[in-house]
Structure 1
């Protein structure tokens, strides 16, 4: 029996773990049920044939395995130890009661959402309206409306008409019109041959690795015979005769000679592989390109445009045509590397796996490609406009940083959300996925896209005009914008100065932005001239000065109808936060912290417009008052900090973190909150993220710009007990300032937390706030949705709140106040 005792105990532990896992998944709690379950497994072990094939039955009285008193004692102790280990490996429980979940919130918006009665979820609606000419085989048919959505290069009602984007200064044969005829450089000027669908430049067809198009007569949209090596951002400094080319920089032979980039198997000079989907020294490694929700596994991705498989449609190929059966064998099965990027779409469940739903119901438009997928296909610079991409071996990862990353993130969240409806008639809101942030990345690189065509004004003017044209297309195509004057339409404005320049006919909608500037009238503060929305501009497309239709007609932000939402931060950017499991016993030895761009170099910002000159003035004050030496304040650019610690480490070590503007918004509020550092806000007349919803005064400080000289004195005067209280409040609300809900985000957060747990011997972090580390409960997206529910009566013009909201408004306010004070 002694021979089998270690094996039996090991199996007991393993089976106990399995039973605990099963019980946990069924909603059971640890304790007595686990003990009974484990003991039931003990009796099961007695019937297992350990060694039955090799050992003869024993003589005399039979003893059942693990049934003697000694083994019972060991089993009891093993179960006790197992329960301790399992309890230690679990995070603290998430809050359940509405009062707990709505802690620190202002008003009744949060309680109203949680107290609404859920209703049954019904199977989705299906549509079967055909499209002309089957969209020429190159586009997707939206079977709800019978509209063709075409990829770049194709247009017209059936995607049969050419819709080109020539390279800059392009002439015959899709070649440059003359290297010496025009001396100006442009992003899309091409020294080889141009793919004039997207203005991408490749080696010419008369070179070994040149771009060779599909032969005449090939089907529409057929791939080229040879893609060729790219020449984007690779320009000649001389022609073949050695004459200088003013707009280039690379010797002719290095590009087109026998040993050059376009001809040699192993060229002595290489051009960059910046197009999405091409990697390796010679751009010969082809990897997956990036599309919205990776086409849901039901289509092929082409630079941001999903060409859907038969029977599927939508911007992410997530919608099924009526009468089409969902069959096994879709793309995610043949391309397993896209599976980690796919987020389940609740609205298309049939039968519904999510049995109930709650309002708000949100309809997500498929936008005309001019305002959506065209911009993705035109970006050329592969990392632009994305929050994730594929690397070597088709491993997917987050892009390093995209200032406008909230745009693709919110699009995927709305598409996959349980609040999405496929029936526009029942929708409370309409989400308008116009790629404004992507436009900022590509604007000015080419004559297309521009609004209006032929005019290159500030980026803000182009964005306002594009958004206006998108609104006009919606109004001409669907009946829903006019129904409530656009008040129920949701627009994302990720630009540095938010919605300051939005067209006045668009303005009544719900504006989600990162910039809560309140003063009116207002003028642009940007130090980047191409974003200055206060520059006058006249054009026949709008009578008079464009400012009369935009910035002079409304404020930047209206807290009654708009919301300041968090910038997107992937979990790796706050991986040293105690809220993700980093050791919480680390002392916060930095009194106050800021690291960032100061633009102090002579001539870079002579008018000191950047950051309203706040960052620059504070830098000078920090030097005059010896902040670092006297008070332990780290302030300045990286070279001023004197530490090799990562940005996340320094934030996690800091007590106070400065929240200062940049050209407009800056994600310093999110940086501080996500690391448990008390934010110190210095920007007058600007609301921070969710300030209209959450009582931020309980965990942050606001210092007027007039008191810059007294910043350290003000911080020093804060009692330690008050600081500790603010830190406790941060732990209870930090999760509302980060996005979860997408597969990659949840997997990333879980991986970071599990690594910390492994380092701690399997013990889960018990730091207050760490219980939210891997949960999407009440995250940033959920907060937006909860607030939208509260606004339905106002948006719909009915002022009739839900019964639950009307009956509980007073009680909700009292309950939240009690929870906040707890």
Structure 2
């Protein structure tokens, strides 16, 4: 019976052979067509699969110079208030250096980038405030609740919405504006040991922490963002009109005994070295005690020291730029926000941690040679604006605007890679 079923007449054999030849020719034609497709689309990025819309293509090149915010569409989850708004009962939550998590959330809610239809969204923002419970007896951020709070938020959205499970969180955004980002600890050794929570490792993190070398706390897709300072600083008098009668300024924690109760060396001893070397030097205006009006001192200063604290970054970096004081960055290996648009090497000075003993010599030399050129570039209003978040919308050229630009680049890159893998998989299957 099997022989009867599989036996073919001579015409049937001819027809079968003809079909096989056509199929083989079709495969070759498909290979040729897809080769042309992949070649030309690799330069134009003309394929963007769902949920990424083709609307990127007409506006992507114009984005950096246009007055529009972005062609992205971002869905903002409306989480229960215990994940965010309840924490605002602490007024420091929306004003301290970690408050980018609040500012960016508010900016999205007031922006045309936000969509209320999650099915048309390109990205999804998860608004969880984890740094509002800020102070502890030893002065460290209280971040012990961060991991369980974020885990609860992910459990909620993965249960009630299909979008997290569809992508395993790849197209979801979180803010981690803390010392060591989503490692959620102020001590580097503990942060490294804890690492980024596994459920966040595929998502996109907006974090203030960034270093050039590989680090456990940046082992996820991320955008380095500036620390938050109140945007009203850009309403101060123009930097070039301010009298600068302080040569070198720093106010902040400067341990006389750098090893504090935690047993770690604060600022890798850099701030202690600065205090011991220059506290009696009349060119250096160094103060160890808190003063709420210290921004007025920055506005009077020529150079502002920005040494590392527990982590490399510091809000002084943004405050100095906003108020026209030349930042002196003392934090080895730091990676700064928005280097594509902020000319850091032209508006700031970088001093190796081991060379703090030569600070005076270096700054006097700069003051007598190219200080005016540095200040001219630093006092560009576009530079100041690029590092400031605004709470009531996203404005052309501000910090949130540049975050969206960085997100759009990552979306396009990820889409290209996913589609290319899919196309190659189809070729293998057809072959």
- Structure 1 residues 469 and 606, CA, compared in 2 at 3 Å: closer, same or farther? closer
Q: Is the 8 A contact 2:298 2:323 kept in 1?
A: yes
Q: Does 1:657 align with 2:320?
A: no
Q: Deviations over 1:258-307 (max 9, x none)?
A: xxxxxxxxxxxxxxxxxxxxxxxxxxxxxxxxxxxxxxxxxxxxxxxxxx
Match of 1:113 in 2: 63
Structure 1 position 430 matched with structure 2 position 120 = no
Alignment of 1:383 with 2:91, yes or no, is yes
- 1:563 alignment counterpart: 223
Conserved? CA contact 1:465–1:503, under 8 Å: no
Between structure 1 and structure 2, the one with the greater Rg is 1
Structure 2 counterpart of 1:588: 244
Q: For residue 595 of structure 1, report the CA deviation from its aligned partner.
A: 0.9
Aligned partners of 1:597 and 1:789: how far apart in 2? 38
* Counterparts in 2 of 1:358 and 1:687: CA distance versus 1, 3 Å: closer
SS at match of 1:726: helix
Deviation at 1:686, TM superposition (A): 2.0
Determine if the alignment matches structure 1 residue 510 to structure 2 residue 160.
no
SS at match of 2:286: strand
Instruction: From the superposition, tell whether residues 710 and 358 of structure 1 become closer, same or farther in structure 2 (CA, over 3 Å).
Output: closer
Task: Provide the C-alpha distance between the structure 2 equivalents of 1:481 and 1:603, rounded to a whole number of angstroms.
Answer: 44
Higher relative contact order (CA 8 A, sep 6+): 2
C-alpha distance in 2 between matches for 1:633 and 1:694: 27
User: Size of the alignment, in residue pairs?
Assistant: 345
Could you tell me whether the CA contact under 8 Å between 2:231 and 2:390 is conserved in 1?
Answer: no
Query: Contact (CA 8 Å) 2:347, 2:378: kept in 1 or not?
Result: yes
Partner residue, 2:102: 408
Q: How far is 1:620 from its partner? A: 0.8
Aligned equivalents of 2:126 and 2:171: distance in 1? Answer: 10
- Which structure: greater helix fraction? 2
Shift of 1:588: 2.3
The 5 A counterparts of 1:703-718 are 703-718=351-366
Distance 1:787 1:418 in 2: 17
The 2-side partners of 1:737 and 1:709 are apart by: 30
Structure 2 residue corresponding to 1:471, chosen from 140, 154, 159: 154
Per-residue displacement from partner, 1:698-722 (whole Å, max 9, x unpaired)? 2111111121211222222326453
- Aligned equivalent of 2:286: 635
The 3 A distance-change label for structure 1 pair 689 and 645 is same
- Aligned mates of 1:792, 1:606 — CA distance in 2: 41
How far off is 1:571 after superposition?
4.3
Corresponding residue of 2:177: 494
> How far apart, CA to CA, are the structure 2 residues paired with 1:459 and 1:585?
41
Contact 1:488–1:795 (CA under 8 A) maintained in structure 2 = no
Query: In structure 1, what is the Cα distance between the partners aligned to 2:259 and 2:367?
Result: 42
Match for residue 363 of structure 1?
75
| Contact 1:498/1:556 (<8 A) preserved | yes
**CA spacing shift, 1:437–1:602, aligned 2, 3 Å:** closer
Match of 1:734 in 2: 384
Question: Aligned in 2, Cα 1:570/1:110: closer, same or farther, shift over 3 Å?
Answer: farther
- Asked whether the 8 Å contact 1:430–1:490 carries over to 2, the reply is yes
Structure-2 change in CA distance of 1:362 and 1:706 (3 Å):
same
Correspondence for 1:764: none
**Structure 2 unaligned residues grouped into runs of 5+:** 1-58, 184-194, 421-431
Partner of 2:30: none
Q: Give matches, 1:24-423, under 5 Å.
A: 113-114=63-64, 358-376=70-88, 382-385=90-93, 387=94, 401-423=95-117
How far apart, CA to CA, are the structure 1 residues paired with 2:258 and 2:343? 41
Equivalence for 1:270 = none
Q: 2:400 aligns with which of 775, 781, 796?
A: 781
TM-score, structure 2 normalization: 0.70
Task: Report the counterpart of residue 22 of structure 1 in structure 2.
Answer: none
In the alignment, which of 334, 343, 347 is matched to residue 686 of structure 1?
334
Say if 2:168 is the partner of 1:485.
yes
> RMSD over aligned Cα, in angstroms?
3.5
The aligned counterpart of 2:39 is none
1:199-239 per-position Cα deviation (integer Å, ceiling 9, x unaligned):
xxxxxxxxxxxxxxxxxxxxxxxxxxxxxxxxxxxxxxxxx
SS at 1:472's partner residue? helix
Post-superposition offset of 1:646: 4.2
Q: Does 1:794 align with 2:419?
A: no
> Counterpart of 1:486 in 2: which secondary structure?
coil
How far 1:675 sits from its partner (Å)?
0.8
Deviation at 1:434, TM superposition (A): 0.8
Give 5+ residue unaligned stretches, structure 1.
1-108, 119-355, 388-400, 444-457, 522-554, 744-774, 802-822
TM-score (normalised: structure 1): 0.38
Q: Are the structure 2 counterparts of residues 618 and 369 from structure 1 closer, same or farther at C-alpha, using a change threshold of 3 Å?
A: same
Q: Provide the residue aligned with 1:313 in structure 2.
A: none
Does 1:667 find its partner at 2:375?
no
Cα distance in 1 for residues equivalent to 2:292 and 2:102: 31
Q: Alpha carbons of 1:430 and 1:499: their partners in 2 closer, same or farther (altered >3 Å)?
A: same
Which residue of the other structure, out of 274, 294, 304, is the alignment partner of 1:647?
294
Do the aligned residues in 2 keep the contact of 1:517 with 1:686 (CA within 8 Å)? Answer: yes
CA distance in 1, matches of 2:378, 2:202: 33
Distance 2:419 2:285 in 1: 52
Contact residue 110 and residue 786 of structure 1 kept, 8 A: no
The alpha-carbon deviation at position 462 of structure 1 amounts to 2.8
Match of 1:618 in 2: 274
Provide Cα deviations, 1:471-493, integer angstroms capped at 9, x if missing partner: 23222222212333322211111
CA offsets 1:76-99 (integer angstroms, 9 cap, x no match): xxxxxxxxxxxxxxxxxxxxxxxx
Change over 3 Å in CA distance of 1:496–1:577 after alignment to 2: farther
Contact 2:174 / 2:205 at 8 angstroms: preserved in 1?
Answer: yes
Q: State how far apart, in whole Å, the 2-side matches of 1:717 and 1:441 are.
A: 41
Return the alpha-carbon distance in structure 1 between the equivalents of residues 182 and 120 of structure 2: 28
Deviations 1:649-692 (CA, angstroms, capped at 9, x unpaired): 22122221111222334201011100111111111122233346
